[in-house]
Structure 1
């Protein structure tokens, strides 16, 4: 699979780390990195990562390419991808966060790439795909959204619960680490609470996953509500989900069925250990269910709690969805 990474921020850099350091990604060739920042800065931030630690490979640059180990990756600095020749690229991983309109999202196609995968929600995408929830929706679409990290965590869990005992209603709270959308010190943002220093307070806010779940799992539309609390942690988030089931449930049987479902899932995990958030750093699953925090609170009420590395797990799904898009061949 030949990919180009457009936008070498948190997700773009994490994707490249996985390509270079994980044996299962050896068939991925990164043919281009495009970012408006100087290449020496990109090299520095890639080699020394505050969350994942130093890269276990030497990194250097000659001003026109990023060399990591024995791989040399051409690096460009175009604000508009249509100025580049992307012929032969299977998938552009659109990680800039600005592909909100069709003219921006389509630039990779105009430059010659076969498909574009957007690393977040986008109204310009033809379809939003979450592995483990609506895989079959991918079809032959050429501009695809990989949804959000929280949607990737929650949607497969909801799909599993729906298949086991049905869902009347549910409410999720995502306990999410701070991100670049929050200031380090108090500074004006659109939302007053999100204007406060992200590393100093817990900040109640909204989550895009609420409406994305309606899109990804339309048969549950209107039945799932959600909220978020941003917390002073740099990595690894959590989901606290309370479900009113459609059928009576038995705690022991449901726990066994859930464990079986996660064992069979390529994106869900399970732990019976009393873990804390830092223990889940760099886990590749979309969600790891915490067994000790999961159980019934009545014949039709279920509480589930799970961890997700919102950067590493999401980046793993970007590569997984891109692989499926590449397998389709030329449209």
Structure 2
């Protein structure tokens, strides 16, 4: 049983760790707001985190990554980065700290170590910020607005300048838009300031003016009158789905690129992390970010396919209900979706099985798919039953996904979950589009495996949209993962 002296020592150490975490938070904020350098801890953002959250993330690195680093060591590396002259960048503090633990004897000091690791960072010093317009302001639009404003920093990447909606913009409408942005039943309160500007029909978000524009026709808007030029339009209305319809945006003054937040026809469908480099950004002007389900399963399918080969398979997605369904039984253009969403499981279709082939052509015709809408407002689960070209086991499959979650091009897309008590509400607010449930993997040492992939169909997808938007806008910073 712990003695009083032992408890005093524990409390003293806890206070010391908390104080160090607070110092780390300040350093992280200074790097972000002064230099647009974003620090993450094994892909987990450190921006706007509390002391408790920072300490918990360090505990996570010990449990999952099996790379024990302390908050004291993290602070040492972060402060050294603060002393360096660095252009905008995104740097994994966890990876750097772990590498310094193992390689410190090879370098004169921390500065020498960092210069060696971050070689090439100077070539990313010039980034031209991109104006962004949200066309539509529903579930995805508001989450995009939140994230864009939270991560504005010094404004060296994406700048949210306007939001376009239908209908007259009265003072009452401005108040309603503000309220929906500020308070969200699923994602909670927005921790920033939002002030209405009735005179100029705008919202002042964290001190920055975001214009509210009313329009029924994309081509009729003159964005330059708002000081917006060469803008990237993020169309999240769902009203324009093919190249012809989306091209209407490009006829507006002040627009250069369009990104659809849904599957698109006749335009590149991109799952960021998988196929974004296959398209010439100077030749294409309209892009699609595919669907939330496609973004959840494609990274996992790429990892499994590249490692073991995929013969064929079936996708079943257990999806949260959406605004497309009825609140109570009523007419609907699609079968079954007319039944009350909050009290029924509803079998419906998903195009994700076929859509995967747009990012991974080798899977063309190999996946069947179906969907079940269930009575939860957010948080979904994809079940992949795959027949492979190689024999596998639970261990080999999990090790494969774990490797991809830690290294390579899919580290932002795949989160490897180790919690065997995890349920759908636990993944709400997770920025990764694919959360691999390692404890649920099924395999009998043959060529078949069943994989369970969670995803926040709103939050995780929104982050994928922003990652792709940065790529399209050519404002991706130097990254060190």
TM range (shorter): over 0.9
Matched, 1:39 2:174: yes
- Give the greater-gyration-radius structure (CA): 2
Is the CA contact (8 Å cut-off) linking 2:312 and 2:367 kept in structure 1? yes
Question: Which residue is equivalent to 2:256?
Answer: 114
1:310 is the counterpart of 2:310: no
Aligned to 1:283: 430
Q: Residue 77 in 1 paired to residue 235 in 2?
A: no
- 1:165 paired to 2:319: no
Is the CA contact 1:255–1:295 (under 8 Å) kept in the aligned structure 2? Answer: no
CA positional deviation for 1:212? 0.9
Residue number among 191, 205, 208 corresponding to 1:68 in the alignment:
205
Answer whether contact 2:241 2:262 (CA < 8 A) is retained: no
Pick which of 100-109 and 264-273 moved more: 100-109
Match of 1:99 in 2: 240
Distance 1:283 1:328, change over 3 A: closer
Range with greater deviation from structure 2 (314-323 or 290-299): 290-299
Aligned 8 A contact 2:136 2:165 in 1: yes
| Deviation (angstroms), 1:71 | 1.6
Instruction: Find the partner of 2:356 among 193, 197, 213.
Output: 213
- TM (norm. structure 1) is 0.94
Aligned residues, how many? Answer: 328
Give the 3 Å change call, closer, same or farther, for CA 25–282 of structure 1 in structure 2.
farther
Give the equivalent residue in structure 2 for 1:7: 136
1:328 CA displacement: 8.1
Summarize the alignment of residues 249-288 of structure 1 with structure 2, pairs less than 5 Å apart: 249-264=392-407, 265=410, 266-274=412-420, 275-288=422-435
Q: For the residues of structure 2 that align with 1:85 and 1:142, how far apart are their CA atoms?
A: 18
Whole-Å separation in 1 of the counterparts to 2:475 and 2:272: 16
Q: CA 1:223–1:25 in 2, change beyond 3 Å: closer, same or farther?
A: farther
Q: Report the secondary structure of 2:287's partner residue.
A: strand
Cα RMSD (Å): 1.8
Partner SS, residue 290 of structure 2: coil
Contact persistence 1:170–1:243 (CA under 8 A): yes
Within the candidate set 46, 49, 53, 2:188 is matched to 53
User: 1:24: how far off?
Assistant: 7.3
> Unpaired runs of 5+ in structure 1?
none
**Distance in 1 between the 2:207 and 2:152 partners?**
15
Per chain length, whose mean CA-contact separation is higher, i.e. which structure has more relative contact order (CA < 8 Å, sep 6+)? 1
The equivalent residue for 2:101 is none
Conserved? CA contact 2:304–2:397, under 8 Å: no
CA contact (8 A) 1:18 1:25 kept: no
Q: What secondary structure does 2:453 align onto?
A: strand
Matched, 1:128 2:277: no
- The answer (yes or no) to whether the contact 1:129–1:137 under 8 Å persists in 2 is no
**1:176 is the counterpart of 2:311:** no
- Distance (whole Å) between structure 1 residues aligned to residue 343 and residue 137 of structure 2: 27
Partner Cα separation in structure 2 for residue 254 and residue 186 of structure 1: 43
Distance in 1 (alpha carbons) for counterparts of 2:426 and 2:154: 23
Alignment of 1:313-328 (within 5 A): 313-327=460-474
Q: Are the counterparts in 1 of residues 318 and 382 from structure 2 also a CA contact under 8 Å?
A: yes
Instruction: Find the aligned partners of 2:302 and 2:398 in 1 and give their Cα distance.
Output: 15
| Aligned 8 A contact 2:394 2:441 in 1 | no
1:30 aligns with 2:160: yes
How far off is 1:114 after superposition? 1.1
Q: Which structure carries more helix by proportion?
A: 2
Give, in whole Å, the separation in 2 of the partners of 1:312 and 1:66.
Answer: 22
Closer, same or farther: CA 321–24 of 1 in aligned 2, 3 Å: farther
Q: Tell me, which stretches of 5 or more residues in structure 2 are unaligned?
A: 1-129, 168-172, 477-481
Alpha-carbon distance in structure 2 between the residues aligned to 1:316 and 1:25: 19
What is aligned with 1:296?
443
Output the CA distance in 1 between the equivalents of 2:273 and 2:466. 14
SS in 2 for 1:315: helix
Question: 1:154-192 CA distances to partner (integer Å, 9 max, x unpaired)?
Answer: 111111100110001111111100001100000111223
State the SS of the aligned residue for 1:106: helix
